[in-house]
Chain A
Amino acid sequence: MIDMANIPSTPPNPADQPRNDKRFRRRHFFERYPLFVMMAALMLFTLILVAVLAPLLAPYDYTAIDLRARLQAPVWMEGGSWNHLLGSDNLGRDVLSRLIYSIRLSLLVAFIGTIIGAVLGTALGFLAAHFRGWVDDIVMVAVDFQASLPFFIIALTLLAFFGNSMMLFIVLMGIYGWERYARITRGLTLSAITHGYAVSMRTLGATPGRVYLRHVLPNISSTLIVNMTLNFPATIIMETSLSFLGIGIQPPMTSLGNMLGFGRDYLTTAWWITVFPGITIFLATLSMSILGDWVRDRLDPTLK
């Protein structure tokens, strides 16, 4: 017979049990950080390091011409020398140095572009959700327009009409993808402000600015970050594609894309000019994609 007196009046609440977190976490470290992901992170870290330390790492200046050492093969092939580890191009410029500086420029452009796009898109998304009315209409029309044409085509149009300048190019990379941030922010903000904690915060007396920055933004940040991990490799591809076609970054500046593009003419005689930048682009995009996938998997299911 069950003794009624010993049964507590309320059921035990699992939230009241203390947890031993630390031991649990240590044991499952490698489950949470698979090998591929670590390798991707390492790759990306290396690339960033190269970009940052470029002047220290590059044996030559990227414009240093040496007509006596033209089209030299990489060191491990016949005709190569230790002077030019990865060979030299048609003007005798060191491929390794140019590669290093190209990594720097391409990563920099992609990074700035992603940040600009994120800030611009998120701000516009907030404005659209907060003010509604015609502000919302304008933003949504702009979003629709951006989504109706591939950005590549828009970029081509603007570059054709306004001529190619570094300023315009950076702006283009910046606005590449803003519409996705805007859509995400607007949608999530709208659902937050119509019910839930945003309304509570307003009732508690918070200004709209505080509600957005301290409450809404941290809650939507994981989605935005996931979008950034998609946007970054896409921006690299966009920049390198345009540079490859000759309408992106112009000489004397060197990017992974335009190195590849110029090397195309020497494919039969000096394949290294195209292959090394190509591999670099591939590795950068691949590691970013792997990391992005992992970030997305981690953030989504644990979203509270």
Chain B
Amino acid sequence: MNGQINNGQPLLKATGLVRHFQVRQSKGLFGKKAVLKAVDDVSFAVNRGETFGLVGESGCGKSTTARLILDIDKPTAGTVDFKDQQISGLPPADRRQLALQMQYVFQDPLGALDPRMRIIDQVAEPLHIHSQASGSVCRDKAADMLLSLDLKDHVFQRYPHELSGGQRQRVVLARALILEPELLICDEPISALDVSIQAQVLNLLTDLRERMRLTIIFISHDMSVVRHTCHQVAVMYLGKIVELAPNDLLFQSAAHPYTQALLSAVPIPQPGLGRKRVLLTGDPPSPIDIPAGCRFHTRCRFAEPLCSEHSPQFKPLREGQWVACHVAHGDT
């Protein structure tokens, strides 16, 4: 995969997104109050036609970021712009209209589907919501969509629990795409599937992206999958983006120590190839109690004294590659 596809203005822009949760630290009625910083100043831009990867460990804030973009959750601060218009804080009616342009695929396909509705009706449902077209017209469109995703017609009258994982995920995709959105946000779309099915669905996504000219935000913790599908990749750690780069730059010359550690953990199907594994020491800190300075310094093998004092700025290292690390920029 080569560099960015730059077609002018970014399709989606997130600026300074912040999401803090008020929690009680010790349990019970009189626990100590604390702030859980799930997303702490996240900014990025997604260009039209590209697949933008958002990676990180569980709990780093990638799903929360997706929820902020989709307005499932309200940001504590920050804005989101879609096609150059601010969409955070839109009135509900306008937000519902936005569904025609921006859609979302869950990690858990069974949970995303209404257990009591037949497959064909679920895929037709978005059409019912947004248009006055008759039942049979909507159903026909839904049937076309399902067929194009390689689902046979005997599946149409079934219920979600009667389908396999791969089939369900394709149904969820069909339902999301029937409105022909421009942006599709996929949150761990293949993690819940068997490995043999994962490749199928991935190829399907790529295929759809070409056919429907989709822009995709792909959220995952699996670096090898991201390498295969994404043009640009942002790496998140404890609520912040620590590195943002085009595919080739990231995977060949990752600058941030965390990215390097993630990459070294990816298995390479070459038996006998000796590799130096970068092992992270210590436990990941809790998002309630974020370390001072650079939040990664407690586990970083390059940590310098500066790293525990000042939080590194997120700035460009070279063309297209942005990093938040004192050591990478040579500030120490």
A and B touch in the complex (CB under 8 A): yes
Interface residues, chain A, with chain B CB atoms under 8 Å away: 10, 13, 15-16, 18, 195-197, 199-207, 210, 215, 218-219, 304
Residues of chain A with a CB closer than 8 A to B113's CB: 197, 200
Q: Are B179 and A200 in contact (CB under 8 A)?
A: no
B residues 145-175 touching A (CB-CB < 8 Å): 152, 154-155, 158-164, 167, 172, 175
Q: How far apart are B197's CB and chain A's nearest CB, in angstroms?
A: 8
Indicate if the CB atoms of B167 and A304 lie closer than 8 Å. Answer: no
B103-160 interface with A by 8 A CB criterion? 103-104, 106, 111-117, 125-126, 129-130, 152, 154-155, 158-160
Closest to A10 in B: B196
Q: Which residue of A is nearest B102, CB measured?
A: A203
A22 to chain B, nearest CB (A): 15
Cα of A117 to Cα of B106 in the assembled complex, Å: 37
Closest to A222 in B: B116
Q: Are B104 and A215 in contact (CB under 8 A)?
A: no
Does B114 lie within 8 Å of A197, measured CB to CB?
A: yes
Please tell me if the beta carbons of B116 and A205 are within 8 angstroms of each other in the complex: no
* Stretch of B48-56, B92-100, B214-222 contacting A (4+ beta carbons < 8 Å): B92-100
**CA–CA, A16 and B163, complex, Å:** 9
Inter-subunit contact A304/B115 (CB<8 Å)? yes
Quick one: which of B249-297 are within 8 Å of A by CB?
none
B-side residues, CB < 8 A to A, are 70, 72, 92, 96-100, 103-104, 106, 111-117, 125-126, 129-130, 152, 154-155, 158-164, 167, 172, 175-176, 179, 196-197
Chain B residues within 8 Å of A219, by CB? 114-116
Q: In the bound complex, do residue A205 and residue B152 qualify as a contact, i.e. CB atoms below 8 Å apart? A: no
Task: Sample 11 A-B pairs with CB under 8 A, ordered by A number.
Answer: A10-B196, A16-B154, A197-B113, A197-B114, A199-B112, A203-B70, A204-B126, A204-B175, A205-B100, A206-B129, A219-B115
B129 touches A205 (CB 8 A): yes
Known pairs A16-B154, A202-B72, A204-B103; A210 contacts B167 (CB<8 A): no
Contact partner of B104 among A196, A197, A203, CB < 8 A?
A203
Instruction: A13 to B150: give the CA distance in the assembly, Å.
Output: 14
Give chain B nearest CB distance to A19 CB in angstroms: 10
Contact A13–B129 (Cβ < 8 Å): no
Across the two chains, which residue of chain B brings its CB closest to A210? Answer: B129
Whole-angstrom distance between the alpha carbons of A16 and B152 in the complex? 9
The reply to whether B164 and A200 contact each other, CB–CB distance below 8 Å, is no
In-complex Cβ contact of B164 among A13, A206, A304 (8 A): A13
A18: which B residues are within 8 A, CB to CB?
154
Smallest distance from the beta carbon of A190 to chain B beta carbons, Å? 15
Q: How far is the CA of A205 from the CA of B92 in the complex (A)?
A: 9
- B5 CB to nearest chain A CB (Å): 26
Q: A13-B167, A204-B126 are in contact. Are A304 and B159 (CB under 8 A)?
A: yes
Q: How far is the CA of A199 from the CA of B70 in the complex (A)?
A: 11
Cβ-defined contact, B103 with A203, below 8 A: yes
In the bound complex, residues from chain A placing their C-beta under 8 Å from that of B162 are 15
State how many angstroms separate the Cβ of B156 from the closest Cβ of chain A.
12
Give Cα A200–Cα B185 distance, bound, in whole angstroms: 12
| Assembled-state Cα–Cα distance A201/B121 (Å) | 13
Contacts of A210 in B (CB 8 A): 129
CA gap between A111 and B216 in the complex, in Å: 54
Which residue of B has the minimal Cβ distance to A203? B104
- Cα A16 to Cα B176 with chains together (Å): 23
- The listed residue (A200, A202, A304) touching B161 by CB distance below 8 A is A304
Other-chain residue from A199, A203, A205 in contact with B97 (beta carbon distance below 8 A)? A205
Inter-chain CA distance A196–B112, complex, in Å, is 5
Closest residue of chain A to B172 (Cβ to Cβ) is A200
Give A206's nearest chain B residue, CB to CB. B129
> Is the Cβ of A200 less than 8 Å from the Cβ of B104?
yes
Q: How far is the CA of A203 from the CA of B106 in the complex (A)?
A: 11
**What's the minimum C-beta distance from A21 to chain B, rounded to whole angstroms?**
11
Known: A204-B125, A205-B97. A196 touches B158 (CB 8 A): no
A195 contacts B196, C-beta separation under 8 Å: no
A10 neighbours in B (Cβ, 8 Å): 196-197
Nearest CB of B to A258, in Å: 44
CA distance A196 to B114 in the complex (A): 8
Of the residues B70, B106, B116, B172, contact of A304 by C-beta under 8 Å: B116
Q: Given A16-B154, A18-B154, A210-B129 in contact, is the A205-B96 Cβ separation under 8 Å?
A: yes
Give CA–CA (A195, B163) in the complex, Å. 20
Q: Can you list the 8 inter-chain pairs with the closest CB atoms, starting with the nearest? A: A205-B99, A205-B96, A196-B111, A197-B114, A304-B115, A200-B112, A204-B126, A304-B161
Q: Which residues of B contact A202 (CB under 8 A)?
A: 72
* Contact between A218 and B116, CB atoms less than 8 A apart: yes
Residues of A near B130 (CB, < 8 A) are 205
CB-CB < 8 A to A215: which residues of B? Answer: 114, 117
The reply to whether B129 and A197 contact each other, CB–CB distance below 8 Å, is no
Q: With a CB–CB cut-off of 8 A, which chain A residues contact B167? A: 13, 15
Q: Which residue of A lies closest to B103 (CB)?
A: A203
Q: How far is the CB of B92 from chain A (nearest CB, A)?
A: 8
Q: A202 to B99, alpha carbons, bound, how many Å?
A: 9
Alpha-carbon gap, A15 to B72, bound state (A): 33
Residues of B within 8 A of A205 (CB): 96-100, 126, 129-130, 179
Is B112 touching A197 in the complex (CB atoms < 8 A)?
yes
Question: Residues of A contacting B125 with CB < 8 Å?
Answer: 201, 204, 206
B112 contacts which chain A residues (CB < 8 A)? 196-197, 199-200
Report how far A13 CA is from B197 CA in the complex, Å: 12
For the complex formed, measure the closest distance between the CB of B21 and the CB atoms of chain A, giving whole angstroms: 14
Q: In the complex, how many angstroms separate the beta carbon of B168 from the nearest chain A beta carbon?
A: 10
Across the two chains, which residue of chain B brings its CB closest to A205?
Answer: B99
Residues of A contacting B114 in the complex (Cβ-Cβ under 8 angstroms): 197, 201, 215, 219
**What residues of chain A lie closer than 8 Å to B100, measured between beta carbons?**
205
Residues of A within 8 A of B158 (CB): 15
